[in-house]
A and B are shown apart, each in its own frame.
Chain A
Amino acid sequence: LAKTTQPISMDSYEGQEVNITCSHNNIATNDYITWYQQFPSQGPRFIIQGYKTKVTNEVASLFIPADRKSSTLSLPRVSLSDTAVYYCLVGGYGGATNKLIFGTGTLLAVQP
């Protein structure tokens, strides 16, 4: 099972772009990379998912290099409400890898 490593915390200011990198050196061929956001006392919420190259949706972009041993979540123009813990998760589509394990996550603090 691929273990993930992320920075414990990051600081940013409103309006800046934030990039959070996750290392997953032991990623398996059938593993996808998924990022979640968690606010205090709430369940994690899906942000974005990818397998390789770049994925973009309305809230974030995900960059995955060719070797897939890391990934970077990019949040454009963060606001105060983006202050949360961000987790990267590596695993299959439920059937392939059922033991979906969260790492320590990155606490992003956005200041005015």
Chain B
Amino acid sequence: EPEVTQTPSHQVTQMGQEVILRCVPISNHLYFYWYRQILGQKVEFLVSFYNNEISEKSEIFDDQFSVERPDGSNFTLKIRSTKLEDSAMYFCASIWAGELFFGEGSRLTVL
């Protein structure tokens, strides 16, 4: 069964450092998403992406965040200068027929 894959599974970084989280969505899916989940809290929408541009973004997705699909397969989330409060699980998802397919997530720990 095709699946969304994410790397790294866990990243530890120092505050102020740049982080890139990578995702390979399911190949024939066209809409992609990033969500985050702070420990013990709900899944929060960050951004949706279609046709190589952002479709929607939340208020969380400020200038410190960016997304791109550089090579037609990878879908990346970049955090330019990490803050302590960016520590969370970050989930990538793609959608088909209304069903979101999630990856296993990347745990980001900012020290």
In the docked arrangement, what's the CA distance between A93 and B48, Å? 13
- The bracket for how many chain A residues form the interface is 20 to 34
Main secondary structure of the interface of A (DSSP, over half): loop
**Please, which residues of chain B bring their CB within 8 A of the CB of A103?**
42
Q: Is the CB–CB distance between A98 and B50 below 8 Å? A: yes
In the docked arrangement, what's the CA distance between A101 and B93, Å? 13
Contact with A41, one of B35, B58, B89, B97 (Cβ below 8 angstroms) = B89
Nearest Cβ in chain A — how far from B8, in angstroms? Answer: 14
- The bracket for how many chain B residues form the interface is 20 to 34
Which among A46, A99, A100, A105 has the highest number of chain B CB atoms within 10 Å?
A: A100
Chain A, residues 79-112, CB within 8 Å of chain B (1/0): the string is 0000000010101111100111111110000000
Q: Which residue of chain B has its CB nearest to the CB of A89? A: B100
Q: Which residue of chain B has its CB nearest to the CB of A96? A: B98
Q: Is the CB–CB distance between A46 and B42 below 8 Å? A: no
Asked whether A43 and B91 contact (CB < 8 A) given A99-B48, A100-B48, A102-B42, the answer is yes
Which among B43, B48, B96, B105 has the highest number of chain A CB atoms within 10 Å?
A: B43
Q: Confirm or deny: B65 has a beta carbon within 8 angstroms of a beta carbon on chain A.
A: no
A interface residue numbers (CB < 8 A to B): 32, 34, 36, 38, 41-46, 49, 87, 89, 91-95, 98-105
